[in-house]
Amino acid sequence: MNTSLSKQTCSHRFINQQSGKCLHCGYLKNSVEPSITEYESQINDDDDGDDGSLETEHYERLVLMLDEWKKNTMNRIELIYKSKLERLRDEFERQQAVRRRFRAEQNKVEIENNNSKIQLTNINFQLINSTFIDTEYTLMAASSETIFVHDGRTFKLFDKNLHPLVALDLTNSMRERSKVVDLCYITYLSSYLILYEQSLWIFEPGSNANLVTPIKRRGYLSLTTNTKDLFLLDIDGTIEQRSLISWTFLRRYTKQHLLNDYINDQLLSIRFHSIEYTILIAIIRTTNNRRCLMIYKHYGSNTFKFLDRILFPNMNIYTISSINIPHVWLLTTCEKQSFFFLDNKREYNQREQQQIWFEIDCDYRIKNVIEFGNTNQRSIILRTIKPSQLRLYHF
């Protein structure tokens, strides 16, 4: 049998690009790189253009891959653009709010500095109105127009004449049982903040209360604001700082940083002053179960500087709130009394402190007191027990 006749002729399709030899039969081509015509002839020699169809499929597949890459890239660019635009908008709104607050604060401080001494040395309380409330709970907060109280189950909103406006029950909205621990009013948001042990709610009068979803953990005790940021105290003695604009977490201050030499004491409540936004006072429970005050100055460099520790003889501090007079606070005691507390720095590392007790003609036991109204007409709201009342006074 003649094998040469049955042997197939090599088409020289597999050529070494460097040597020019056919990898199948060793045939040496004259040119290393085949011309377009030769390449086309090789393709045509195959079975009627199947290789051409494969090249078309490969091309179409590459086009689809490019289209997918373009789509994904544009989506990523869109996400980056939206993120940066939102940050830019938040920063612009924050700076605008800071400018507005700064102008308002300058005017307010000038008025307060001119009148504060006269008002504190010539105090005359005048009862304007009162109303009975259901329970002896003490939590309350106020704006310049409304008062917001908690009665153990529901929240009640009153107008400036102590007339009830609305009752708010969040019990059915809670996923798990949690105790209300603090309230405050945020002028920047025109809203009340309701702090539970495990969550934070925001309530703007005239609308529904909403859960602040970024803030959720166990063991909250107290909250306060310096008009720019929110500060949350937990049972571990840690203060968490968040932005009021976006609720973004900013930083955390540990119990070791805050108490230092008094590490075995317990932080119970915190309040920033409403005019001197860098001054914070905390109520502390000492190791012998006494309640005292610790005064701090907050710096933008992530620091609370300890200023003073005040232990009042024969009494324990129960609540503390700010008033729109420089260096002045409103305090109540566990003995159900109340007084103005003046804390004025005279010289370096020396502080002048004074107590001005309320001279109010009533036999009620005071459990909480906060300022209400504006600079044109100074008022305070007292929450009393036996009987349980809200009492509005001008002074």
SS3 annotation, 123-171: CCCEEEEEEECCCCCCCEEECCCEEEEECCCCEEEEECCCCEEEEECCH
d(CA 328, CA 343): 6
How wide is the angle at C-alpha 320 spanned by C-alphas 343 and 236, nearest 5°?
110
User: What is 183-220 written as a DSSP string?
Assistant: EEEETTTTEEEEEESSEEEEE-TTS-EEEEEEEE-S-E
**pLDDT of 181-208, one tens digit each?**
999 999 888 999 999 998 999 999 988 8
Burial class of residue 125, CB neighbours in 10 A (0-12, 13-18, 19+):
middle
Q: pLDDT by residue (tens digit) across 27-57?
A: 665 544 444 444 444 445 544 545 555 577 7
Using 70 as the pLDDT threshold, list the residues of the chain that sit under it: 1-9, 11-21, 23-24, 26-54, 96-97, 99-122, 136, 174-176, 300-301, 344-352, 359-363, 375
**What integer pLDDT is reported at residue 94 of this predicted model?**
75
Burial 305-326 (b: 16+ CB within 10 A, else e): eebebeebeebbbbbbbbbbbb
Half-sphere exposure (CA, 13 Å, Cβ side) for 211?
14
**Quick check: helix, strand or coil at residue 336?**
coil
The pLDDT assigned to 108 comes to 57
Structure-token match 């009627």, residue found: 48
**In the prediction, which pLDDT does 176 show?**
63
Q: What's the confidence (pLDDT) of residue 194? A: 94
Q: Is the pTM of this model over 0.75?
A: no
Q: Which of 210, 170, 218 is nearest to 193 (CA)?
A: 210
Which pLDDT score is estimated for 230?
A: 94
pLDDT of 6: 47
**Spatial separation of the C-alpha atoms in residues 113 and 134, rounded to whole Å:** 39
Strand order in the sheet with 164-168: 140-142, 146-150, 155-159, 164-168
- Would you give the DSSP letter of residue 27? P
Task: Please name the amino acid found at residue 57.
Answer: E
Q: Structure tokens of 318?
A: 């129960």
